[in-house]
Structure 1
């Protein structure tokens, strides 16, 4: 199956789709983790924007603001390294009661389930359902880890003994069409990922 078809789908009938999904499951071990993350993230409903440099991050962030009419809005953000993006676009990130979105980084991107791992460094003590419905994440390709256990190992090594609290993942980025026990109780988020190439 071509990379284009994997990313954008095809007009094949359902039997071909079933064969392709079986093929994907059996070939997961051969799929590069960045491609695996992208496929699973999009399958979960996330909006993926690849950036080659910081100028592209700024441009695409402005495109997101334009698309959603978020200029001069209140924003939730707890990371000083991201304040310049907000300042450049006249966004208020002080004490806000009703933010339009949260701008954050993350600890890791988890390839095998297309999810994003957060901690108190990004979201303080908020639970996923307490965050705004709209989330904009700025992350790098070096943060992609194959599995949740790889991500937790990375966090353990990275922080040595000063571990962050409130470690949690968000996996569902759109309302499930059919509720099942795996998605029960999860709060779907409208999530944009600005992924900066750093490898």
Structure 2
């Protein structure tokens, strides 16, 4: 899909509808909103960080926004076009449990080697803590530090105790204890949101 198109072609519309859980009508509404916020037809990292900052005014969302941006930007070209935006939005807001888990795993797997290390998870969890700022205390009453939270998650997910979590371990632990996924999902739920287009 070209970056500078001012209108969606019927082919683009059909292709996005086939690749997402959105109707063509919903896609057209999202497109209007996307073009209003991104007149160029693409979303840069700076613009993405600004949007996250508006969602989380009481914390610092910039680091988490970088990680979310990486998972949205599937072609790794440094921008998010409307198609990439809609695919990510579809997974995060309407995807099934498995799709959401895969999306979360991809976010935590910073070097894309198929494993999540404690260092990788700590980077994301710390970014989430920084992003939610003062809201954190009311949402997480257990008082755990990012490192303690990572240690707790690893103790439940790292079944073979090799200090890394595979996609299978991630999925198995999440299926056994869905509460584990709540923190893992916190940041990307806002990325996609559950609301409709304006």
Q: Using structure 2 for the length normalisation, give the TM-score.
A: 0.28
Q: Which has the higher helix share?
A: 2
TM-score by length of 1: 0.28
